[in-house]
Each structure stands twice: as C-alpha cells, then as structure tokens.
Chains A and B, each alone.
Chain A
C-alpha cells in the first residue's frame, strides 16, 4: 500500500543525508511504527510520503502509484495527517475542524456534518455536546481525538501520524492508544506512525522500522524485534527488559493449557489426586454444575485427605480471561503469590489455566528455535 524505494533526503547545506536509501513496504491495513532516537530521520521519512519534504532521490508509491505523479495538494488530501501539536484550528468549531478536508473537497455539507457526528460517537464524545464547541473548550486528550477524526474525515486510505500521542499525559495516552487501536480494527487504514517510545511502538505496531542516522536498521514485527534484535543498537534501543516487553504482545490464550482436567464437588479427594497425578499437576480446579470455576484443591491436600472435593477445596485467589495479555497475567501472579491462574471466559466458565512456567517456556521458545 505504501512503498518506499531507496528514498534519500539530504537537506540543503548539509552533507550527511538525513534519510539514507530507505526502502520499506507497509501492507494495506497495517500500522508501521517508525522508531528511533531524535534526529534519526523517522519524521523526515514520514513527511516525504505526503511531500511536505521533497525526497532528494528514490520513489514513494501509494497503492502502486508514484507520489511524484500526483498533484501535491490532491496527494495530501488523500492522506490523513496527525501531528503531535494537534493543530486544531482555534477559529473553527469542532464540527468544522473535522470537516475541513471534506469541505475543501466540496462534499455535500449535510453529508459531511453527518459524518462528523458519527466520528465523534466512535470516540465516545457526545456530538450534541461537542460539535459546536471550539478547540479551546476541550482537554488535550479530547483535542487529540478530534485531531485523529479530522485526519480520517474524508476517509483517506493512508494515515500519517507524527508522534500523535506524545504530548498527552501517560494515563490518557494509554486510553487514547487503546481507543485508537479499537477504531483501527474497524477502519483498517494503512498507517505510518512516528514514535520514539518503544512501548508505544510495541503496542501499536504491526511492524516496527527502527532508524539510526537516517538508515533503516531493522524492519520487523514487534515480537521479532524484541526477540531477535538485528544489532546492538536495536537491542540497546528496545531495552534490557525487551523480553518482558514481549509479554504484552502475547495473550493468556497463547500460553493457556486449554480444557484441562477438572473436578466436581461430589468427586472424592482420591479421584482428584488421581487426576492430578495422571497429568503431573500440583493442583486441580473445582467447577460447578455448569462449568464455572469455583475453587481448587492441592495435590498434597488430596493425597492425605478423605471425603469429597466439595468439603476440602480452597477459593481461587483470582482468575484471568484468555484475551488479557501475559503482562497482566504475570503481574497478577506476582500480586497473589501464585504460580498459576485459572482462566475463565466472560461467563465465568473454566476454560483452562496458565502457569508461570508455561509463560517462561513460551517466551524462550523463539530463542531455542533461532
């Protein structure tokens, strides 16, 4: 969808190229995060796509068409653009800000205003309240949401985002990132996203492009980038805790042992012990009549005891859902001082369990293969 072919930029009066023979391709509907320290050429690379900066050499293609063949204003109108400073027009209402590109494209006014209202609803801002307000009446987080909506108002297939959430406080940043990812799942734009924050990159990216001194040094999926950094620079940049960062890329489901043995209240402790021994487990989950997780029994309790599971079980300290990320899972284990967690679905049904050992095993798999 977006393809850069040997793109370079040398600014007048300098000898070192700011961007040096960068080639990369972003597939349709993917988010590519351009990552690197300041001055590495990531922003310059992005701005060459909508020709805010003219490449010195090389070609950039959007949907197979060379961007230098476009009329530059037409090109920019077909590419959404979000900047860190947001840049909402203070003289225009939220509605008119969102509709700026539809307006210059000559869309029917009713249609574009209708769309503005729909877009506001997508980010959970009440159109009745916000359409007629002015930017100064909104918080920074709300303004940046509008900035994103303005960029997608004319439904461009491609979006350029220059550190879009960089100026927002950390708590709101996470909320907006999540919201944006949810929106992206619906709108499926092809996105170039500049960031200097590895955590943001890992979270947002389908692929990460790491830049250094104008060169693209690695272009890979976040998980591969963290597991197999191509150079010392990349491994330094992604950080010493890069394996821990991978935790948030994986979900409980990835490490979950599904459909494990379980016991019911009426089962005897001997049956429970036998089931655990057969599977080499140290504990087993007690489920209710319809399959809800109720509690658990330890192997030690089961071996020595008499009577039924229903008389001897302990309550589960907590449970986790399969779609949560492993970072949350491990954090929960640490908090409850436990080595495993029972996984339940949204209805509370027991679906499997995840162990600390299973997680470490999963994380190290890629290193053994490589």
Chain B
C-alpha cells in the first residue's frame, strides 16, 4: 500500500525519470543501429574480418557496466563529460553492437545464394540488392537483435544513475542508500515494465515492417 501511495504521489517524477531513461536507451540504440547494421553488412564480405569484429563485440559485452562507466570517466573528462548523459549513451551504444552486428551478419549471410545470383544476374547493383532484397529479408532478424539490445540496455541504464545520468535507476539507488523499499520497488517495477513495453512495441514495429511474404503462416 505504501508503495502504491508512493507511486501515486510521485507520478510526475516517475514520468520524468522514465523520459530520461528512454532518452538514453533510445538515442544510444538508434546510433547503434546506424553503426551496427552497416558493420554487420560490411563484414559479410570477409569471413576473417567478421570473426574478428564479432569477437571484439563479444568481449565488449563481458565488461561489467559499472567498470565501463569507471573507465570512461578519465577519458571523457578531457572533453568535460566524465559523467552524466554522454558516457551512459556511449556504454549503451557499445553494448548494443553485439546483438545488432551479429544478427545483421547472420541474417545477411544466410540469405539464399539463389536470390543473390538472380539479383546479380538481372543487373541489380550491390546497393540495389541490399535495399530491394537483402535488408528487407534480413529485417526480422535484425529487429530481433535490436530488441535484445533495448531490453538489455534498459537494465544497463538503470546503473547509469551512479554516474549521474538520471533515469529510473535513481529510484533504485536511493532506495538502497535510504533503505526505502518504496523507492526501490518503484524503480525496479518501472524498469521491468519499461523493458516489457519497449519489447512489445518493437515487436509490433517489426511485424509492421516485415513483408507479408516473409511471415510464417
């Protein structure tokens, strides 16, 4: 009951924190798509490069987020952004690379070679093949990677409150330091709900963007 009252009383603050949270994850994942998809496509050209890139992205994801934030402080301090929004976005951007690059790479390289040959034989350029055929077919799998990145990084962003990036993690951090279960539960609940809602919203988007010809019956 306490918790419910707390939520009702602090509705405005929850909304603000959620907005901050979404701003970090949204911007970072958008940037991750803008970088990860081209990288994923590019590495289909060379197996060894692909292995190296995927290995590097895998290592990236094993770094604990708190350690990553710590490592960025001295570096980003040079431009006056040692803590706050920027390092949070960079961390999410880096963590998002693996699911997005890996799914892009896997889906593009698994496209039926007959499709590629037909497209090449009919005179489609590399760009046209990507735009007309390969990316539309790869889209559901790429989107699945994006969803993994978003859900995972909604969790990571909750930690970013410790470097002053705001977000829903603020409730959890304060709940811990003030031994206040109301804030702690509110934060945890909000993070979970945000993750589920974002995943479902992206699933809906994925279905809308996927050609009906690719849907399983």
Contact = CB atoms under 8 A, between A and B. Distances in A.
A49 B31 CA distance: 43
Given A87-B112, A87-B115, A90-B213, A52 B123 contact: no
Interface residues of A, number: 29
Interface stretch (B15-23, B59-67, B100-108, B128-136): B128-136
B212 interface: yes
Contact of B121 (A50, A88, A104, A135): A50
Interface in A47-103: 50, 52, 73-78, 81, 83, 85-93, 100-101
B211 interface: yes
Contact of B112 (A52, A85, A101, A134): A85
B4 interface: no
Contact of B214 (A85, A90, A104, A160): A90
A81 B115 CA distance: 12
B133 A52 contact: no
Contact of A91 (B114, B123, B124, B137): B137
Given A92-B211, A135-B213, A104 B115 contact: no
Contacts of B125: 73
A132 to B, nearest CB: 10
B121 A76 contact: yes
A136 B213 contact: yes
Contacts of A74: 123
Given A87-B115, A93-B213, A136-B213, A73 B133 contact: no
Contact of B123 (A87, A101, A136): A101
Contacts of A83: 114, 117-118, 121
Q: How large is the interface on B (under 10, 10 to 19, 20 to 34, 35 or more residues)?
A: 20 to 34
A100 B137 contact: no
Contacts of A50: 121
B133 A77 contact: no
B78 interface: no
B212 A89 contact: no
B122 A91 contact: no
Nearest to B139: A91
B123 A75 contact: yes
Nearest to B211: A91
A346 to B, nearest CB: 41
A81 B118 contact: yes
B120 interface: yes
Contacts of B214: 90-91
Q: Which of B114, B120, B123, B125 has the most CB of A within 10 A?
A: B123
Contact of B211 (A81, A88, A90, A147): A90
B124 A104 contact: yes
A81 B117 CA distance: 10
Nearest to A50: B121
Contacts of A91: 133, 136-137, 211, 213-214
Contacts of B132: 89, 92, 100, 104
8 closest A-B pairs by beta carbon, nearest first, are: A87-B118, A134-B213, A76-B123, A77-B123, A85-B114, A81-B121, A91-B211, A91-B136
9 contacts: A76-B120, A77-B122, A77-B123, A87-B119, A88-B118, A90-B213, A134-B213, A147-B118, A150-B122
Interface of B: 112, 114-115, 117-125, 128, 132-133, 136-137, 211-214
Given A73-B124, A81-B121, A92-B213, 6 more contacts: A50-B121, A74-B123, A76-B121, A89-B118, A91-B136, A151-B122
